[in-house]
Amino acid sequence: MIATLQRWWRDRMPRERGLLILLALIAAPIVSYYGVIRPFDRAIERARLARDAEARSLADVLLMAGKIKAAHRSPLNPAPIEALVASEAERAGFTVSGVTREGTGAVLVIGAVRPQPFFAWLAAMKERRGLFVTRLSARANDDRTLSISARLERAR
């Protein structure tokens, strides 16, 4: 094989040999770039993107685990739930018609309340006291207020 290649090379004229050497000098960097360097760069980029995606997934899992851990804390207030709901509603300035215990929760009844402050208060109750709404009924009154019946429970 090598003898055949040497014979082929000797049969070329000096000008042809020079052009073939020039061609090899031009082709070698192009072939090495597109055949070796670019594939390695692409592989490294894919590995970096996969690592970043896994890091984002891990961060999401850790965030969810923190939320679950926070949700399973002991209640923020050991008082009976109906007393807690009544005191929080009165502290917010609502006129409470009644609070009764129902199973593990408490039913809050308010005769007239403006919607925006009430729903903001409900949202804050989850963060402040670990209470969430399991049932809510609201009826519109004639004076642009709502008549509310809401069942609240402690987060488990």
The pLDDT of residue 82 is above 80: yes
Question: Predicted confidence band at 76 (pLDDT cuts at 50, 70, 90)?
Answer: low
For the record, the structure tokens of 62 come out as: 């850790």
- In 17-32, which positions are buried (b, 16+ CB within 10 angstroms) versus exposed (e)? eeeeeeeeeeeeeeee
Q: What superfamily would CATH give domain 81-154?
A: General secretion pathway protein M, EpsM (3.30.1360.100)
Q: Where exactly are the structural domains of the chain?
A: 2-71, 81-154
Q: What's the mean pLDDT in 112-119? A: 91
* Alpha-carbon gap, residue 40 to 63, rounded angstroms: 34
75 DSSP assignment: P
The pLDDT of residue 140 is above 80: yes
Q: Can you give the pLDDT at residue 128?
A: 82
Q: Can you give the pLDDT at residue 99?
A: 93
